Amino acid sequence: MCNIAAAGLAVQGIMGVSASSQQRAIGRQNAATARAQAEQQAEIGRFEEQRSRSRMDRLIKQQRAQFASRGVRLDNASALRLGEEAAAERAIAAQAKRFNTDSQVGALNAEADLAERRGQLGFLRGVATTGARTITRSLQLWPELAGA
């Protein structure tokens, strides 16, 4: 009877530690997924920023061509001011894209860190709970371990 109880106690301990290890593995996998999403979002953001700059460059060139076709001198003060405004808009649009991308990437990296910490906490909690249950159960099975 004592050997069966000991075997059952050992199996419970092993299962508890195994479940705890699974929690940690799940946390690591979730973290890896979030980090991969962050990398992908950063790549998409760089592409979107470049696309925004290219689009603004095309619009600036189109505007200059329209001015030239109407006989407006491109060194005219009004034309220069419009060109400067367009260039400023181009820079602002690119900065906004970069800011949004950085915010999204930061959030995904924070999510990855949180997932990893949750997995580690689940592991530690599981091991501690398993240890406490094993000790309690051992003392119930073998009261002489308590030291009378």
- pLDDT at position 6 is 75
Distance (Å, whole) CA 63 – CA 86? 9
Is the pTM higher than 0.85? The answer reads no
Distance (Å, whole) CA 145 – CA 52? 73
pLDDT digits (tens, 9 = 90+) for 55-81: 888 988 888 888 888 887 878 787 778
The residue among 94, 111, 110, 109 whose CA lies nearest residue 45 is: 94
Which single residue is written with the structure tokens 């705890």? 20
pLDDT digits (tens, 9 = 90+) for 91-117: 898 899 999 999 999 999 999 999 999
